[in-house]
Amino acid sequence: MAKKYNLIAIGRAALDLNAVEYNRPMEATKSFAKFVGGSPANIAIGSARLGQKVGFIGKVSDDQHGNYITQYMQHVGVDTSNLVKDDEGHKIGLTFTEIKSPQDCSILMYRDQVADLYLRPAEVSAEYLAQTDQLVISGTGLAQSPSREAVLKALGIAKKLGVQVVFELDYRPYTWTNTEETSIYYQIVAQQADIIIGTRDEYDILENYVGNSNEQTVAELFKYAPQLIVIKVGAKGSYAYTKAGAAYHGYPYKSHVLKTFGAGDSFAAGFLYAVSHDLGIDKALQYGSAAASIVISQLSSSAAMPTVAQIEDFLKTAEVIN
């Protein structure tokens, strides 16, 4: 019988405050526009925009910002029954963005004592996870307890129930104490995940070593559960590898780039949509690249997530970056 959800994501839902005045440093930016953010929330929203049935496990502040995030996610069709309100006064995470130029963008995160990292294991429901085909785990959820144990509980339940586990490495240094610790927890989850998605730099963090080739990285991970591994390299595109030995190159598409953040989350939503619909790995990489090109041409990450029709339209005229 078909499950109620194609995908449930676990991790942070937060706020993006995106510079409205571009091409200047943050010090000179006066106006910021508010959007829902947080990598797993962006992936959930992107997936819902693509018509996937989506749920979310997380924690938001018990205030106007938490209300806004919950309401926005409901508005785009993400189930928020397991997006709980913090009862200990923790606040929402904030991400300020700086757009100095389309090539020179950065984010500044305020993530001290943020509500998402206080998600408790007791707030992860096996009944909820039994209703999904896929669980998307964001690496940042492993950064601190009790969120770390909540994520590991979700992983254990998913494995027991045969739910496909996707690990989005989503490395944000702000919330980690040191990279050795990150590597330990990343390896625990990566070795049990069915699909891993991350940038080359994030795999270096996972390995706690800089210098491995993609082939060395995937050969090591394929000794464990993973069946499909995606390694992204920004404007140079992406690579996908299967345990059966196939390798694919995802070409990036030309875009009227406004800013580069949001690329990874939209890529994940597009890629996972195509994988869930058995469209093949080449198509999945095309969907990921196209979704990313669309999102980086707009101010927001979450609000710019494309529909399937937008991706298909884009691909009709898309030009590959060589």
Ligand X SMILES: O=C(O)C[C@@H](O)[C@H](O)C(=O)COP(=O)(O)O
Chain residues that interact with ligand X, rule: CB under 6 A: 14, 16, 37-39, 42, 95, 107, 261-265, 301
Residues 219-248: x where in contact with ligand ADP by CB under 6 A, - otherwise, as a string: -------------xxxx-xx----------
Q: Is 90 in the site for ligand ADP (CB under 6 A)?
A: no
Contact 296, 260 (CB under 8 A): yes
Shortest Å distance, C-beta 196 to ligand ADP: 13
The closest residue (CB) to ligand X is 37
What does 255 bind: ligand ADP, ligand X, none (CB cut-off 5 to 8 Å by kind)? ligand ADP
Residue closer to ligand ADP by CB (options 118, 273) is 273
What does 39 bind: ligand X, ligand ADP, none (CB cut-off 5 to 8 Å by kind)? ligand X
User: Which residues, 6 or more positions from 132, have their beta carbon under 8 angstroms from its beta carbon?
Assistant: 3, 4, 5, 6, 7, 8, 55, 163
- Residue 86, amino acid: D
Q: Is 255 in the site for ligand ADP (CB under 6 A)?
A: yes
The string of DSSP codes covering 52-106 is --EEEEEEE-SSHHHHHHHHHHHHTTEEEEEEEEPSS-PBPPEEEEEEEETTEEE
Shortest Å distance, C-beta 271 to ligand X: 12
Shortest Å distance, C-beta 13 to ligand ADP: 18
Which tokens sit at 276? 């869930």
Q: Which of 267, 271, 287, 314 binds ligand ADP (CB under 6 A)?
A: 267
What residues form DSSP beta bridges with 19?
32
Shortest Å distance, C-beta 101 to ligand ADP: 12
Size of the site for ligand ADP (CB under 6 A): 19
Residue closer to ligand X by CB (options 75, 160) is 75
What crossing angle do the helices spanning 39-49 and 64-75 adopt, rounded to 10°? Answer: 30
Residue 25, preceding peptide bond in cis (omega within 30° of 0): no
Q: Is 263 in the site for ligand ADP (CB under 6 A)?
A: yes
Residue closer to ligand ADP by CB (options 131, 298) is 298
Q: Is 315 in the site for ligand ADP (CB under 6 A)?
A: no
3-state helix, strand, coil in the chain (%, to 5): 40, 25, 35
Residue closer to ligand ADP by CB (options 118, 239) is 239
Answer left, alpha or beta for residue 113, where phi above 0 means left and psi between -120 and 50 means alpha. left
Which tokens sit at 275? 């994988």
Q: How far apart are CA 169 and CA 199, in angstroms?
A: 8
Residue closer to ligand X by CB (options 80, 301) is 301
Q: What is the CA radius of gyration of the chain?
A: 18
User: Stretches 27-35, 84-92, 203-211, 290-298: which one binds ligand ADP (CB under 6 A)?
Assistant: 290-298
Q: Which of 107, 123, 130 is nearest to 15 (CA)?
A: 107
Q: Is 183 in the site for ligand ADP (CB under 6 A)?
A: no
Interacting residues with ligand ADP (CB under 6 A) = 199, 232-235, 237-238, 252, 255, 257, 260, 263-264, 267, 289, 292-293, 296, 321
